[in-house]
Amino acid sequence: MKEDLWRLLAVMSGSFIIGLLTGQILLCLLTGLSGYVYWQYRAFKQLLLWLQKRSQHETPEHSGLVDQIAREFDYRRSRHNKRKKKLSNYLKRFQKAVAALPDAIVVLGENDKIEWANEKARKYIGVRWPQDSEQRISNLIRYPELLSFLEDASKHSPEKHIEIVAPADAELQLEIRVSPYGNNQRLLVARNITKLHRINQMRTDFIANASHELRTPLTVISGYLEAFSDDDNGSPTVWQDQISRMRRQADRMRTMIESLLKLASLESEQKPSSEKRINVPDIITSICQEAIQLSGGLNPHKITFDIDPELWLKGDEKDLHSAFSNLVFNAVKYSPKGSDIQIDWYQDNNGAHFAATDSGEGIAPEHISRLTERFYRVDPGRSRDKGGTGLGLAIVKHVLVKHRATLEIESAIGRGSTFRCDFPVDLIVQPDSIPLSI
Ligand code: ADP
């Protein structure tokens, strides 16, 4: 800056002296100034050309302001380049780390277009990077279950997942999660759960096989016990009490084996084994009649029901019967005689609902989330006394999952409980509608 001022001063002084000598002061000053402005103009022009096309033009050699601007620009450029290099190194390292993950990762942008994917995505779900960049994932994966999960992903929580056979390798079992992030982007993560799936399968098969094997000897034992309990067979009277106790235990074992087999078969099917139109009002009415018998025949429990006779569902009749009866019989088992039990079957905008409300002992909040686990009982002794197996609510949960329904439990100690099954609207059918093709 100072250099430029001195230069201007020198030009103006020189022009002034020449003006004095020639007697044309003003003309000389104007000529000197114009020369100076033109010189600066050329310097800036050179600077501009250098900034625009650095490789083809020399660095401006003018000292002063132009030189300072060129230096400042050079400094900022090299700083920017360093930062860019650092960021691109970070990005490379991050991409290497994500690529090394054992899970398949796919970044989905607007309209579910693929923005990035790691190597495992090719192996598990057949998405190749960079070949499939900007393709819509629905054009690459023709897997209805996964596509409808992606479509509905915004409605459910990121914890929700589905388990499917890997689209790119039928030997693999995947657990898929979708998490929204950033600006309308979503992260699809597919985890290989083949080993876990096999272990679960082995466990289910083992329970099913063991239960199946136990069934026959138990039938023989029960048959003999029945024969022994018959006085006409000449069995000693002193043994009658023990024999009837043995029969009760054998009956319990049979119920447990049947429940275990039921659970194993429910677990092995993803969907209802049949999707017929079900006359649910009829099923519930007959269950309520059975419940009155169970509670002592003369309805000492004051069971009342409000059932929509027009509300049918499509699904599996046996499974639905077993879920509803478990809930109604539990209401009878776990509430004292004389108390009220209300059974409702109704429809609203959210779908169809079955609710069993009792005014019995109720359940403490810490137990509620665990009630549908196998063999989970709030009071094991009491459950056994009532002939419970601890498997009823596990069966209910599996039946509901198969029907895309959910179980809601509301309970308060001393005030009673409501067990409500919520079925989606699309399962509802009218009683007189055309039969569905299965
Ligand atoms: P169980 O065969 O023991 O009844 P369930 O799986 O049907 O097994 O129920 C699990 C546990 O939940 C029961 O042991 C009981 O403690 C509790 N429970 C279920 N229904 C009710 C209810 N209506 N009122 C109070 N407790 C209940």
Could you give the angle at which helices 240-268 and 194-229 cross, rounded to 10 degrees?
Answer: 150
pLDDT of residue 101: 86
pLDDT number for residue 57: 62
Closest Cα to residue 267, out of 328, 319, 210?
A: 319
Res. 232 pLDDT band, cuts 50 70 90? low
Report which secondary-structure segment, H or E, holds 285: helix 280-294
- Residue 430 CB burial class (10 angstroms; 0-12, 13-18, ≥19): exposed
* pLDDT-derived band at 194, boundaries 50, 70, 90: very high
The finding on whether 389 has its CB within 6 A of some atom of ligand 1 is: yes
Q: Which residue has the tokens 């409808």?
A: 148
Q: Average pLDDT for residues 66-75, to the nearest whole number?
A: 85
Shortest-distance atom of ligand 1 to CA 395: 6
d(CA 423, CA 344): 13
State in Å: Cα 304 to ligand 1 middle: 20
Q: State which ligand 1 atom lies nearest to the alpha carbon of 356.
A: 23
Contact (CB, 8 A) for 110 and 141: no
Query: Residue 282 pLDDT more than 50?
Result: yes
For the chain, which residues make up each domain, given as ranges? 2-94, 101-192, 199-267, 276-429
Whether 416 lines ligand 1, by a CB cut-off of 6 Å, is no
Residue 377 CA, ligand 1 centroid: distance in Å: 6
The DSSP bridge partners found for residue 348 are 351
* pLDDT at residue 437 in the model: 41
Q: Which residue has the higher pLDDT, 270 or 125?
A: 125
Q: What is the model's pLDDT at position 435? A: 47
Q: What is the pLDDT of residue 346?
A: 97
> pLDDT at residue 113 above 50?
yes
Lowest mean pLDDT among 50-59, 113-122, 166-175: 50-59
Find out whether the beta carbon of 193 lies less than 6 Å from any atom of ligand 1.
no
Q: Ligand 1: which atom is nearest the Cα of residue 361?
A: 25
**101-192 maps to CATH 3.30.450.20:** yes
Regarding the domain delimited by 276-429, which CATH topology (the fold level of the hierarchy) does it fall under? Answer: Heat Shock Protein 90 (3.30.565)
Joined together, the tokens standing for residue 169 give 């390798």
**Contact in structure between 405 and 324 (CB atoms under 8 Å):** no
Tell me the average pLDDT across 79-85. 94
Please report, rounded to a whole number, the percentage of residues in the chain having pLDDT higher than 90.
50
Residue 250 vs residue 234, higher pLDDT: 250
pLDDT at residue 47, rounded to an integer: 86
User: Under a CB-based contact definition with an 8 Å cutoff, are residues 93 and 84 in contact?
Assistant: no
Query: Per-residue confidence at 433, pLDDT binned at 50, 70, 90?
Result: low
Using DSSP, state whether 186 is helix, strand or coil.
strand
The bridge status of strand 341-348 relative to strand 303-307 is parallel
Per-residue pLDDT band for 257 (boundaries 50, 70, 90) equals: very high
The ligand 1 atom at the shortest distance from the C-alpha of residue 389 is 2
Determine if ligand 1 sits within 6 Å of the CB of residue 301: no
> 361-384 pLDDT, tens per residue?
899 999 999 999 999 988 888 777
Q: Give yes or no for residue 358 CB within 6 A of ligand 1.
A: yes
Task: State the Cα–Cα distance between residues 107 and 115, nearest whole angstrom.
Answer: 5
Give me the mean pLDDT over the 137-161 stretch: 80
pLDDT at 423: 96
- On average, the pLDDT of the chain sits at 88
Distance 293 CA to ligand 1 centre (A): 19
Specify the pLDDT at position 438. Answer: 37
Q: Is the CB of 129 under 6 A from ligand 1?
A: no
Q: Is the CB of 383 within 6 Å of ligand 1?
A: yes
Q: Where are the beta strands (DSSP E) in 112-195?
A: 114-117, 162-166, 169-181, 185-192
Which range among 1-10, 87-96, 264-273, 312-321 shows the weakest confidence by mean pLDDT? 264-273
Q: Is the beta carbon of 377 within 6 A of some atom in ligand 1? A: yes
